[in-house]
Amino acid sequence: MITGRQRRKKCDELRPICINCSRNGFWCSWPKTTRIVETTSRQQLQDSISRSSSSKNLPHCIQDGRLATASSIPFSLSVSLFESDMQSYMFQYCTDLLLLSKERQPGPFYEGQSYTFSMGLHFTPLLDAIMACAAITLSSETDKFRDFAVSKYISSVQGVRTGLVDGSLVGVEDYLLATVMWLCVFENSRCDGTPKINHHVRAMSNLLRLRPPMDRTNSAASALAFERICVESFIYHSANIMVFSSKSDLVYAVQQLAKKFESCFTTGTLTRSYSNKLQHSFVLGATPDVFIALMQATKLARSAQPDTENSVNNLWRQNWQILHLEQQLNSDGLRQTWEGRLYMLATRMLVMTAIQARDGSASKFCAFEFHQGITEGLQIFRSHTFRAPFKNYYLLPLAILGSVLTSEDDVAVICDKLNIINEKCSSSTVKHIREILEDIWISQVGSTENFAIDGLGKLLRCANICGSTDYWW
């Protein structure tokens, strides 16, 4: 129910299925069937946060960081009390650091994280997934955080599974989509076994395929930002699977959903002020077109189809499209364009690998492009610092660039960055990719050549972080 329409509930009246009021900045006050504390006061929740903040056992990386304040909690909502100081602290840490970092905007456009943040307080599986992501970034501090992260991850998955079985998730599609998105984030950082990210990305694909895009003229800005971030997250994780799983082909699925949600990334009827902020807030500093191009280039570099004149022409056409995207990216004047440039360099190297394998007359051009790409990529890695806490999102361009290096000094730069990525969380994916790169470097380092395309081919053949995903459209 929304403000101004509240009335007494009839004895035999059932809760309606609704979602649009939350998208428009309102929250339902219908009595819940689950146990919640309707009379939670500001002081109760503030005391819970104060106890966790004063704990002497907190990791130094949090004690030195920026902590959430009581003013960042939407106390107007009905929230469940946390079962322990650990839970309240993980919730505080995530909402104050992880969400701002993930959504990329420290400015007023995303301030408060109202939509995603409030959904977490209303939906236990989402809250568990958020806390799991917060704890996994701290797992190197102590095993306590790792165990907590795994337990919350399992709780989130079981909560979603139970809801699907008993039908209680009808009408809460936004909550479910947000939960699956955070489960993908967790899988990208997990260190307790083989990632299962392909299952969650498949679930995201189904949810996005079935839902209509939000009405941009009537939905709240925070809800629009949430939807676009979910689409970007799906595209990124699909690209990650495409490169690091040798049996996956997700290009068509991503293209269809990117086309469906194209309005998320256009300015259309939005006000000028809002549209400017919307254009400059891509999660990884690059448009979805960049990641789609990366996936297409990966497919071309991995393809074993016989060479034809049309296939070679398509490769050159793909190369010029990438150059156009790169020029567009550099001309946007984004504050953190260097992150998007890393993905563009990785895409260009993949296309050059496919061209050189099929067009012998282009060897000099490919050599020039590889040399230029390596020089630019190493310069970016030397002069920029990875953003915490999601440093593992730089693994993809780092692995592609590292696979073609032959110089010990250049390899040392990549190793240093891999150590930084693995600093806070010993991710299984990072370990797997590093083992492949080290095997490549044994045969490549010390070569008289400036680069080695064979290493990139081996990376594409050997990387397999999650097995086959042959169930895609």
Structural domain spans, the chain: 44-462
Between 169-183, 217-231, 396-410, the lowest mean confidence (pLDDT) is in 217-231
Mean pLDDT of the chain: 73
The residue with greater pLDDT, 422 or 166, is 166
| Bridge partners, residue 191, by sequence | none
Instruction: Tell which wins on pLDDT, 172 or 64.
Output: 172
Among 185, 172, 25, 199, residue whose Cα is nearest residue 103: 185
The pLDDT value given to residue 111: 44
What tokens were used for 135?
């704890």
Predicted confidence (pLDDT) per residue in 26-37, tens digit:
555 555 443 333
Percent of the chain residues past pLDDT 90, beyond the cut: 13
Backbone angles phi, psi at 446, to 5 degrees: 100, -5
How many CB atoms within 10 Å of residue 203?
A: 19
346-379: buried (b, 16+ CB within 10 Å) or exposed (e) per residue?
A: bbbbbbbbbbbbbbeebeeebbebbeebbebbbe
CA dihedral sign of residues 232, 234, 238, 241: positive
Bigger pLDDT: 78 vs 342: 342
Residue 209's pLDDT band, with cuts at 50, 70 and 90, is: very high
Mean pLDDT across 179-190: 87
pLDDT band at 3 (very low <50, low <70, confident <90, very high): very low
Three-state SS string over the chain comes to CCCCCCCCCCCCCCCCCCCHHHHCCCCCCCCCCCCCECCCCHHHHHHHHHHHHCCCCCCHHHHCCCCCCHHHCCCCCCECCCCCHHHHHHHHHHHHHHHHHHHCCCCCCCCCCHHHHHHHHHCHHHHHHHHHHHHHCCCCCCHHHHHHHHHHHHHHHHHHHHHHHHCCCCCCHHHHHHHHHHHHHHHCCCCCCCCCHHHHHHHHHHHHHHCCCCCCCCCCHHHHHHHHHHHHHHHHHHHHHHHHECCCCCHHHHHHHHHHCHHHHCCCCCCHHHHHHHHCCCCCCCCHHHHHHHHHHHHHHHCCCCCCHHHHHHHHHHHHHHHHHHHHHHHCCCCCHHHHHHHHHHHHHHHHHHHHHHCHHHHHHHHHHHHHHHHHHHHHHHHCCCCCCCHHHHHHHHHHHHCCCCCHHHHHHHHHHHHHHCCCCCCHHHHHHHHHHHHHHHHHCCCCCCCCHHHHHHHHHHCECCCCCCCCC
